[in-house]
Chains A and B, each alone.
Chain A
Amino acid sequence: MDLRFSDEDLDFRARARDWLAANVPGTPRPAGGHAASQFDRDWQKKLYEHGWAGVAWPKDFGGMGLSGLQQVIWYEELSRAHAPAAHISTTYVAQMHAGPTIIARGTEEQKAYHLPRILSGEALWCQGFSEPNAGSDLAALRTSGRVEGDHIVVNGAKMWTTDAMHADWMELLIRTDPASQRHKGLTWLAFDMKTPGIDIKPIRTMLLDEHVNMVFFDEVRVPLSAVVGQLHGGWSTAMATLSFERGLGFIADQLELFEKVGRAVRLAGEMRGPDGLPLIEDVEVARKLAAIKAETMAIRAMTLADIAETDRTGMPGPKGSMMKLKVTATHKALTRLVSDILGWQFFEFDGNRDNNPWTHDFLWSWVFSIAGGSSEIQREITADRVLELPRSR
């Protein structure tokens, strides 16, 4: 065991820190709408132009070709520099799982076309997996594709598609073999959002935002060249996507949580209770904060352990589900505790994260434990793959 970063790691951290100090945008990310996605594109473009895009992507595909550990260092430095965060960006799907899926399963033409556009921020992606009747049970999906010559004609509806209105491309998972059931007969398409015949309807959430959408498909014609992986073999491609989402997708959240606890401790030092004393002197508040701090230390240790292992084996292990369970539970505990610390300020909320990040994150804690595979499903995966218990289904 060894906690020391290599000289290259330390050098990378120092360079990242310097560059970020000089280049972090002076204005905060706009709360939403086109302005937010434009901000995300501009930042990604700047990273690309200065050689900071795709830290752990292979060099052959325009990335920096660095280790997973250096990717962790990069996220830590982003968080520390209050730079635009990778996990609250409309570039998220493209960077975290669409790009890696194309690297793993795409044709040479698909790689050559999509990867530079993803890295430069030109192409934003969304994920069209879930449907009204297929969430946890993804294999129940019904959006159909009829193969006609060199095209697939898509009909149906996707639901919960985050940032669909900003995206240029969609990871679209559909049923192309009408006689098929469950995991068979599916196809994963790199779907161009400019194709005629789609209709996007926002769904307002309890955060008072409109980031998630219904996406309807009516006789939408997609060329067969958009198939990533095998026609009718899309489940395998989708599992690759989910393994990237589960393996890497939450690293930035994990590390940010560590910073958030520090902010909560400072907040508890400033806010006063009914007795006029700083809340940090309330033994119950202090103990709960310290217990959450210990959890975030463990989350960081788990992250480093997992990434260092993946750097050696080249394969993300099955531990991503355990990580997500711990991160989401700790996030919930922290935001709930801060809701008490904040007093009446907690109740002032207009939907803009910048005006009240804690209340925003409190509400978001349920999104975190449902989206990307609910906590119940993560427990199922842990029971199956880590503990190898008898199947429940």
Chain B
Amino acid sequence: MYLAPEGEELEIAAAAADFIADALPIERLHQGAGPDMGAELRASLGEMGWFALALPEGDGGSGLSAVEHALFFREVGRQCGPLDILVQALACLSTYDGGLRAALIAGEQGAALLVPDGMGHRLIGAADARYGLAVMHQGAALHDLAVAKIEPRPALDPANSLAIVNDPGPVIDSIEGAYIWQLGQVGVAAMLLGLAEAALDAIVEYAKVRETFGKPIGAWQAVRHACADMAVSNEGARAQLWYAATALKEGRGDAQAHLDAAKHLANEAALFATDATIQLHGGIGVTDEHNAHLLMKHAALLARLFGGRNELLASLLHAELED
């Protein structure tokens, strides 16, 4: 029993943190970088094998688990990394076609997420994607978007493209079982955790230097106590995510319940921390040049994916748990 990164997990987390901070620092969004990964970054992530962490070695992956997957996507979240990094990783797991899988692992072809919306779909991420991935509780389907009519929409969240697709085109491959959905939950929850941690770190640093009435704002209790509350909700979300990812890795019977709780707590932690960080930064917090709104907008989007509040709570209520 041990519930924190250790040994090689720490090395992977550190390597991920370095790579992501260098390849897609959150500052990119202030320097004219567009949404999504873009072809170039996709290729370099592919080259490093980051899309295939949780893919079996026999399929060209690293053969690691949901735990390393979580550690990687937490770093992606910290830098407000685009969703299509996760979608690409899930797409690699969603095909039996070795050639297609290799192209996805290498980042030669992109994948974006298809989410049902009324009679049609929303497409999130990778405006240039060749494939659309639809993930359900009990399976995933890969659509070929080559002939689909994609209607781009202006996106609130600058990290991801947003479009409407009424007919996402033919399904070229599909896979059954809960695993893709579950790894999606781990990935999005980890990104939300990273966002929540980044939001707290930002205000803690600012609270040490910004002074009002002759004191740093971090000495005012209204600020200190709100930060403490953020720390508590982040801590709970982190502990539950580690628990859930490990439960998935170990194939425990209650893994789904722990994942639902982890996603719910990550939603709440990220929505709370990104709200509070804007408020506690004062006026600078609502400016475009600041990171706070980037974190908030990204969190708002991710909180809807792979289980929003009502859906998660409905499935959690009667779920049985093991020791």
Contact = CB atoms under 8 A, between A and B. Distances in A.
Given A298-B261, A305-B3, A387-B227, A290 B316 contact: yes
A302 B231 contact: no
Interface stretch (B83-91, B171-179, B217-225, B291-299): B217-225
A311 to B, nearest CB: 9
Nearest to A268: B317
Contact of B228 (A308, A312, A379): A379
B314 A322 contact: no
Interface stretch (B115-123, B146-154, B240-248): B240-248
The residue among B6, B200, B240 with the most chain A CB atoms within 10 A of its own CB is B240
B225 A383 contact: yes
B212 to A, nearest CB: 12
Contact of A291 (B5, B257, B313): B313
A389 B224 contact: yes
B231 A382 contact: yes
A387 B228 contact: yes
B2 A308 contact: yes
Nearest to B316: A290
Contacts of B317: 265, 280, 286, 289-290, 293
A375 to B, nearest CB: 9
The residue among A297, A308, A387 with the most chain B CB atoms within 10 A of its own CB is A297
A305 B239 contact: yes
Secondary structure type dominating chain B contacts:
helix
B236 interface: yes
Interface in A263-289: 265, 280, 286-287, 289
Nearest to A269: B318
A389 B219 contact: yes
A326 B237 CA distance: 12
Contacts of B257: 297
B250 A297 contact: no
A4 B251 CA distance: 11
A383 B224 contact: yes
Contact of B225 (A69, A295, A379): A379
A382 B221 CA distance: 12
A128 B252 CA distance: 47
Given A289-B317, A389-B227, A3 B243 contact: yes
B310 A390 contact: no
Contacts, number: 158
A24 interface: no
Interface residues of A, number: 47
A122 interface: no
Interface string A285-326: 011011101110111011011001100100000010010011
A309 B4 CA distance: 8
B1 A4 contact: yes
B281 interface: no
Interface of B: 1-6, 9, 67, 200, 204, 207-208, 215-216, 218-221, 223-225, 227-229, 231-232, 235-237, 239-240, 242-243, 245-247, 249-250, 252, 257-258, 260-261, 264-265, 309-310, 312-314, 316-318, 321, 323
Given A297-B257, A297-B321, 13 more contacts: A1-B4, A1-B242, A2-B250, A3-B247, A294-B240, A302-B236, A308-B4, A380-B225, A383-B227, A387-B204, A389-B227, A390-B216, A392-B221
Question: Nearest 7 CB-CB pairs, A to B?
Answer: A298-B236, A305-B3, A290-B313, A301-B239, A383-B224, A379-B228, A382-B228
